[in-house]
Amino acid sequence: MMNPGHKASTLRFYKEQMLRVLVHIQEHLDEDLVLEDLAKRACLSPHHFHRVFRGMLGEPLAAHVRRLRLERAAGDLRSTRRSVIEIALGTGYESHEAFSRAFKSAFGRSPSGFRGREEGPVQLPARSGVHYCSGRPPSDFRAVTHRLFAMKIAIETVAPMRVAFVRHTGPYDQCGAAWDRLCSWLGKEGYLGAGCRLIGVSYNDPESTPPEKIRYDACVTVDASFQPAGDIGVQVIGGGDYVRATHFGPYSNLKETYGRLMGQWLPRSGRHLGDAPCFEEYVNSPENTPPAELITDVFVPLSPLNSPLSTATTKAAPCD
Amino acid sequence: MNQEPLMKTKPTARKTSTKLSASAEPAAKLDLGKIFRAEYLAPRKPVVLDTAPARYLAIEGTGAPGGDVFQARIGALYSIAFTVKMTRKFSGEQDYSISRLEARYMNLNSAVEASTPRGRERERVDFASAAESRLNLGDAPLPPAHQWRWQLFIRTPEFVAADELVRAVAALRKRGKEGEAALVHLESIAEGRCVQMLHVGPYDKECDTVATMKQLAAARGLRFAGPHHEIYISDPRRVAPAKLKTILRFPVVPV
């Protein structure tokens, strides 16, 4: 078992990694902030980084960056004489209209209306407490606290599973074609007997990856006698420690479960992420289950105990 | 009510053309649960409704619900359901959704039991297990759970033919996955007029719901005339007993 001190140091480790990213974001708001680059600064693989970020900060990366740019714009409207269009372009909007629309929906007032009045905060609500502050990058943030009561979480060693799979590249919610192809082929061949497990491997976080680049494998467990055939491949997944959480409800809310697991549970767990991709096991079938009754087990890989990474302590390990 | 193997087809899924698929344009996916929506009402208060005769993939057995025999037969039923469906899908035939798992308990409802009294056997009923069982109509003790006779079934389009089941069993046998799949057969069930109600909670607390249904039947001049029928909405392996949703149905006839 982990001792509490170890858990505290893990939380500190993840907070420091995120803080580096937050500082970088504040100092480079004028630039394109590329996920891969930010993930590297956090010493995490891109597919894990965004889920940790979202879970700890309580908002997706893109929303965070947008919010900070809008806060900076609000401050500039009040404290400088720069024109609205100049501020709009500096905020990353291509037109005055788009900027005004976004600004109004965030602050409840148009940019010029906002400029004309001295009252009202220049900050937008944020659970993390991180706001834009000129020349003063954040030195701390409130990691979103546990709201894990609704989740059943367990660490388990997952035995390697041999699976037949069909790869899907494109929007996550269009992976049905890969499932159709896989299951109709396996079905007519007699592989869909009792005890098959249905697993989805997501190589990217759908929230931070352009839809057309999302890679996803639809997988069904098979025994050693199965041989790959055409577009039906074979691979082995699992094999190592994973943390498992059960997600109840529609697939569209899976990101919430990933966020809680990786952003809230993980930093307080005393464990570190492994390199393998996350996977999902579909416990019941959307064929005959209403969305609210769907059950999905989410598996997030952990690096082995006593590995160099899992003993990383107070100081954030240097990248590269 | 183990639903395995649990096949997944995302809601956006539509027929994909495969190399071997027939040239005809695939028709829209058939969903019997939607077509016969009026028969699958899950009201919090009992209702009387009419059901049409329907075809099912079915398998029978004896034993405690949720026990080994029960789970193995559910596995066999789903093996056939998915193998038949996916084989059709592969060859480009009409696609359809697998319907929900349902069950009928054949020897719980004394009103529809064979009229021969069970004599000594009835006296040996374990009242402790009867108390925890799902149906107590107050007019007869229940058999102990391991003696329950049940039929598990999944509604299936009329076009599914018996020889498709035979081929599915053969395909599964080839992969060592036959299990008890050969026991699955096609069956037509006609329940006609029924009382139906949603039960929320553990299976062993169904008696109150059944009593409410029976009251409605009596108020309408009807009586229960067929076995206790359950349609499963929740997965009892993972859903807390207090949150389980089950549609209860009883065929009724005029008193």
Assess whether pLDDT exceeds 80 at residue B121: no
CA distance A79 to chain B (A): 50
Nearest CA in chain A to B231: A288
Which range, A12-21, A233-242, B30-39, B140-149, is most confident? A233-242
Contacts of B239 in chain A (CB under 8 A): 293, 295
Tokens of A307: 């590995």
Domains of chain A, CATH where assigned = 4-116 (1.10.10.60), 153-309 (3.20.80.10)
> With an 8 Å Cβ cutoff, are A194 and B75 in contact?
yes
In the numeric block, the tokens 């404290």 are attached to: A79
Q: What is the distance between the alpha carbons of residues A60 and A302, in angstroms, rounded to a whole number? A: 22
Q: What is the DSSP string of A157-215?
A: EEPPEEEEEEEEES-GGGTHHHHHHHHHHHHHTT---TT--EEEEESS-TTTS-GGG-E
Q: What six digits make up the tokens of A3? A: 């001792």
pLDDT at B122: 34
Is B249 or B117 the better-scoring residue by pLDDT? B249
Residue with tokens 């009792």: A194
Are the beta carbons of A176 and B10 separated by less than 8 Å? yes
Q: What is the reported pLDDT for B139?
A: 56
Burial A9-43 (b: 16+ CB within 10 A, else e): bbbebbbebbbbbbebbbeebeeebebeebbbbbb
Average pLDDT over residues A31-53: 87
CA distance A187 to A196: 11
- CA distance linking residue B253 with residue B43, whole number of Å: 21
Sign (positive/negative) of CA torsion A280, A285, A286, A289? negative
Q: Does A293 touch chain B (CB under 8 A)?
A: yes
User: What is the residue-averaged pLDDT of chain B?
Assistant: 81
Alpha-carbon dihedral of residues A93, A96, A102, A105, nearest 10 degrees? 170
Q: Which residues of A touch B14 (CB under 8 A)?
A: 176-177, 180
Determine contact, residues B207/B54, Cβ cutoff 8 Å. no
Per CB-CB distance under 8 Å, the chain B contacts of A283 are 6, 235, 237-238
What integer pLDDT is reported at residue B237 of this predicted model?
85
Measured CA to CA in angstroms, residue B208 lies from B65, B82, B216 at distances of: 19, 35, 13
Is-contact B175 A195, C-beta < 8 A?
Answer: no
Backbone angles phi, psi at B105, to 5 degrees: -105, 115
More confident residue, A7 or A113: A113
pLDDT digits (tens, 9 = 90+) for A54-67: 888 888 888 999 99
Per-residue model confidence as pLDDT tens digits over A273-319: 998 999 999 999 888 888 988 999 999 999 988 665 544 433 333 33
Mean pLDDT of A100-127: 87
pLDDT value at position A280? Answer: 96
In chain B, the residue whose alpha carbon lies closest to the alpha carbon of A223 is B175
Looking at residue B118, its pLDDT comes to 37
Partner-chain contact A187 B78, CB within 8 Å: no
Residues within 8 A of B (CB atoms), A 84-123 only: none
State the Cα–Cα distance between residues B51 and B38, nearest whole angstrom. 8
User: B21: pLDDT confidence band, cut at 50, 70 and 90?
Assistant: very low
**Minimal CA separation from B18 to chain A, in Å:** 8
Backbone angles phi, psi at B213, to 5 degrees: -65, -40
What does the buried/exposed string (b/e) look like for A247-269 if buried means 16 or more CB atoms within 10 Å of the residue's CB? bbbebeebbbbbbbbbbbbbbbb
Are B45 and B197 in contact, with CB atoms under 8 Å apart? yes
Place of tokens 């007019």: B139
Structure-model confidence comparison of residues A44 and B218, the more confident one: B218
Which pLDDT band, with edges at 50, 70 and 90, does A3 fall under? low
For the entire predicted model, the pTM comes to 0.76
Q: Phi first, then psi: what are they for A80, rounded to 5°?
A: -130, 175
**Average pLDDT score over residue span A91-110:** 88
Across the interface, whether the CB atoms of A173 and B10 are under 8 A apart is answered yes
- A294/B contact by beta carbon, under 8 A: no
Q: Which residue of B has its CA nearest to A292?
A: B234
In this predicted model, which residue has the larger pLDDT, A293 or A1? A293
Tell me how far CA of residue B41 lies from CA of A141, B36, B38, in angstroms: 50, 10, 6
Contact between chains at A283 and B72 (C-beta distance less than 8 A): no
> What local confidence, expressed as pLDDT, does residue B27 receive?
60
Interface contacts (A, B; CB < 8 Å) = 156
- Select the residue from A188, A232, A251 to test the B interface by mutation, using most B Cβ atoms within 10 A: A188
Contact A48, A262 (CB under 8 A): yes
Q: Answer whether residue B177 shows pLDDT above 70.
A: yes
Distance CA A209, CA A212 (A): 8
- A252 SS3 class: helix
Q: Does residue A112 contact residue A78 with C-beta atoms inside 8 Å?
A: no
Give Cα A309 distance to the centre of its chain: 21
Calpha distance A286→B242 (Å, rounded): 22
Higher pLDDT, B91 or A95: B91
More confident residue, B21 or A98: A98
Question: What is the residue-averaged pLDDT of chain A?
Answer: 86
Q: Distance (Å, rounded) from C-alpha A199 to C-alpha A24? A: 37
Helix (H, G, I), strand (E, B) or coil at A102: helix
Q: Per-residue confidence at B137, pLDDT binned at 50, 70, 90?
A: low
List, for residues A176-230, the tens digit of each pLDDT value: 999 999 999 999 999 999 889 999 998 888 777 888 889 999 999 999 889 999 9
- Look up residue A33 and give its two tokens: 């902030």
Amino acid at B171: A
